[in-house]
Structure 1
Amino acid sequence: MGFEDLEAELGGGVLSVAAACGGETILYHADRVLPTASSIKIAIIEEIFQQELDLAQPIMVTRADYVPGSGVLATLTPGLVLPLGDLATLAISVSDNTASNLCLRAVGGPEAVNARLVAWGCTDTKIHRSIKFALEPADPPHTATGTTQDFVKVLSQLGSETIKRMRQVSDTAMLPRFLEGYSCAHKPGAVTGVRNDVGVIERGGKKLTLAIFTQGCPDVRWKVDNAGCLLVAKVAQRLTEHFLGS
């Protein structure tokens, strides 16, 4: 299955796709190393469950922990104490950047997640730093980079707790956009010029895992009709109809 026609809609950007269902795999430039944006948060949260950390562990959210961008914690009063499990839910369901960093700290930082990724055979996917926007000269430009073929492997390792939180994601601009009637658990990610979504689509007892990354789209609008969002949705629709039927 080719996606050249859809990739052309990015107006100069690039597309990477990996999908697997029932022993069949479809790859399109799936070894391209691209920014993951917030999609990497599924690996952070899964590490909580891999380490069997106490979800009731109380964690204080201080002003120093605040990260702008997606989420709600940075808009609340400092000193709030939340259990680790609630932070994990916020990190996935509303992509809260502050909660994600606190979860990353709880599991032992990027090194712990990166070691797990290597153990899963995801050698081209890596967290480089915590989420922040005021970068120092030595900081890597992106929080994490990776490949769609690695993310299909990550999706195959996720337990029920992470999947449950992925079903609570409120952003439907990409993967589920054209998939009425299907069950969808997913985690989108976006920074300027990047629109990604990864997840699991199910219907009729069949399960499709897929990861779709884009980079370099000249459409920089933070709108649901951003060309990158629409492209990811169209790719997801094509793959879902191929594997699961329309």
Structure 2
Amino acid sequence: MIDLESLGDECPGTLAVSVPGLLALNEDVELPLASAGKLLLLAEVARGVASGSLDPAERVTLLDDDYRGGSGLLRGLTARQWTVGDLALLTAAVSDNTATNALLRRLGLDRVNERAGDLGFARTRVLDLIREPRLPEHPPTFAVGTAAELARFATLLITYGPDEDAPWKAMLLGWMAHNTDRSLVPALLPHEPEDRDVPSVVPPGTVWAANKTGTDTGVRTDVGVLAGARRIGYAVLASGPAGREHDLVKAVRQAGLRIGALALRRD
């Protein structure tokens, strides 16, 4: 298995990898996140629902300005009203850009970033709505952040106990388990992509995955958790020149093998 430093050297652009206390490569470099940045929004939705300040059954009417191309299903569906819970699941499962914009409009960008600070995010933040296309007068990207902050956050999701934080963490982890994109970190790992519930026991030699990915020109990102012999949180961010996205995918998948080996290891 190629070592992490060599993998970083071979990657076009920058490869950042973090598993707190176990793996680190460029983990404090600030990089574009693409849709992995939606985790900050989903965290605030989950915290609002768990605290009772946000009703998951509240209906949100989609506005024309919410609709965006790219990932998602809502542009192909006819309904114009969806619940907050529906929009969160669509954002997590298919990275729906329209659902993301509707939730950002409902909560407010400032609230999402301010509350993200409570979770330890200092350099990881959402800069703007999802835009297709992104013009010169707009912020240069949807979200930016570091692998270290995102991996610590992912680890936080799998270390909850019977405390007041447990409900929102379990809720967010459940949404992430519905992610249909397992093409990056989990791609080469033995896992069942349709397992939605956090298992008490994982079959030997396999992992359970819940993650959020991001895809943009020159960007491939993956943040999530793997549960095997042990549970770990991870973040892998890859950013490079346009046209080299396939090489970024290969680098992220190879990093995924290193991360998976840690989750499978019994010690």
After TM superposition, the score normalised by the length of structure 2 is 0.82
The Cα of 1:60 is off from its aligned counterpart by 1.5
Q: Does 1:88 align with 2:88?
A: yes
Q: Does 1:179 align with 2:189?
A: yes
Partner of 1:169: 179
Looking at structure 2, the residues matched to 123 and 38 of structure 1 have their Cα atoms a distance apart, in angstroms, of 18
Looking at structure 2, the residues matched to 71 and 236 of structure 1 have their Cα atoms a distance apart, in angstroms, of 25
Partner of 1:231: 251
Partner of 2:163: none
Aligned CA distance change for structure 1 residues 182 and 151 (closer, same or farther; 3 Å) = same
Q: Tell me if the contact between 2:120 and 2:149 (Cα under 8 Å) persists in the aligned partners.
A: yes
SS of 1:51 mapped into structure 2: helix
| 1:1-246 matched pairs, under 5 angstroms | 3-10=4-11, 12-20=12-20, 24-52=21-49, 53-77=54-78, 80-107=80-107, 109-158=108-157, 159-180=169-190, 181-204=206-229, 206-220=230-244, 226-245=246-265
SS of 1:124 mapped into structure 2: coil
- Bigger strand share: 1
SS of 2:224 mapped into structure 1: strand
Cα-Cα RMSD: 1.9
Looking at structure 1, the residues matched to 105 and 123 of structure 2 have their Cα atoms a distance apart, in angstroms, of 22
Q: Tell me if the contact between 1:200 and 1:210 (Cα under 8 Å) persists in the aligned partners.
A: yes
* Structure 1 gap ranges (5+): none
Partner of 2:161: none
Q: Tell me if the contact between 1:9 and 1:227 (Cα under 8 Å) persists in the aligned partners.
A: no
Aligned CA distance change for structure 1 residues 209 and 156 (closer, same or farther; 3 Å) = closer
Over residues 78-103 of structure 1, what are the superposed CA-to-partner deviations in whole Å (9 max), with x where a residue is unaligned?
x5211110110000100000001111
SS of 2:22 mapped into structure 1: strand
Over residues 23-70 of structure 1, what are the superposed CA-to-partner deviations in whole Å (9 max), with x where a residue is unaligned?
x33221111000011001121011012122100001112333211100
The Cα of 1:127 is off from its aligned counterpart by 0.9
> Number of matched residues?
235
The Cα of 1:117 is off from its aligned counterpart by 2.0
Whichever residue aligns with residue 188 of structure 1, its letter is T
The Cα of 1:161 is off from its aligned counterpart by 1.1
- The sequence identity of aligned pairs, in percent, is 31
The Cα of 1:2 is off from its aligned counterpart by 5.2
Whichever residue aligns with residue 234 of structure 2, its letter is L
Over residues 204-242 of structure 1, what are the superposed CA-to-partner deviations in whole Å (9 max), with x where a residue is unaligned?
3x1110000011145446xxxx22112111101112213
Whichever residue aligns with residue 213 of structure 1, its letter is L
